[in-house]
Amino acid sequence: MPLSDITARIAAAETAAGRAPGSVRLIAVSKKQPEDRITAVLDKGHRIFGENRVQEAQGRWPALKERYDGIELHLIGPLQTNKARAAMELVDAIHSVDRPKLARTIARLAQDMGTCPDIFLQVNTGEEPQKAGILPSEADDFIAECRSLELPVKGLMCIPPVEEEPSLHFALLAKIAARNDLTGLSMGMSSDFERAIAQGATHVRVGSAIFGERPPAA
Ligand SMILES: *Cc1c(COP(=O)(O)O)cnc(C)c1O
């Protein structure tokens, strides 16, 4: 689907939800996509991209940042503590801070580096054992801990269980954010970004709807 269709759908969803035009940022998720599809989107003027692996982002984005001005990169996938510095050197936001150990590592590195990407805390709203994220019942404490570490916490992120109605999870995430005075909500993907916007998403992470299906791993 062309980028312009997605941005039109986002604008329509903002209006339908009574939200200000432009209140939702579109993160184009470029993971595993061939580079020509990414440069096509860059050539249309889009500048906000998401990757879920540090190594893949390192392989691709330094060169693209040389060629295109104003790129804003978001890490949306799991982050190991030993890759935290590399991630912080490359990206503008990390959406997947999901445990105290990682938060402490990032805080220490931020002291050292004198700068820190925007931080989103990942909440496992479906309480799925295999999924990353802090449990909803532990979210308030985790948010407080990250704030005491002076991390620039901008909001919360979730990935709803595939087989459940995502709106319930988006609403839960919005509720946890509201009671903690957090305004950022990173939620909504190709199949459900309009429902996420209805529940207050400020950042939608859309991959395949923009770029097409990701090619199978070689
Ligand atoms: C891959 C991915 C997306 C985008 O998924 P699509 O269904 O292709 O839109 C969004 N968020 C995260 C965390 C992802 O890993």
For 17-47, what is each residue's pLDDT tens digit?
999 999 999 999 999 999 999 999 999 999 9
Instruction: Report the candidate in 132, 156, 131, 161 with the shortest Cα–Cα distance to residue 143.
Output: 156
Task: Give percent above pLDDT 90 in the chain.
Answer: 97
| Residue 96 Cα: closest atom of ligand 1 | 13
* Residue 207 Cβ contacting ligand 1 at under 6 Å: yes
* Residue 76 Cβ contacting ligand 1 at under 6 Å: yes
> In this predicted structure, which of 39-53, 71-85, 168-182, 203-217 has the lowest mean pLDDT?
203-217
* Residue 190 Cβ contacting ligand 1 at under 6 Å: yes
Express each pLDDT in 94-140 by its tens digit. Answer: 999 999 999 999 999 999 999 999 999 999 999 999 999 999 999 99
SS (H, E, C) the chain: CCHHHHHHHHHHHHHHCCCCCCCCEEEEECCCCCHHHHHHHHHCCCCEEEECCHHHHHHHHHHHHHHCCCCEEEECCCCCHHHHHHHHHHCCEEEEECCHHHHHHHHHHHHHHCCCCEEEEEECCCCCCCCCCECHHHHHHHHHHHHHCCCCEEEEECCCCCCCCHHHHHHHHHHHHHHCCCCEEECCCCCCHHHHHHCCCCEEEECHHHHCCCCCCC
* Residue 159 Cβ contacting ligand 1 at under 6 Å: yes
**CB burial of residue 59 (10 Å; 0-12, 13-18, 19+):** exposed
User: Residue 134 forms beta bridges with which residues?
Assistant: 123
Tell me which of 29, 41, 195 to substitute to probe ligand 1's pocket, judged by most ligand atoms within 8 Å of the beta carbon.
29
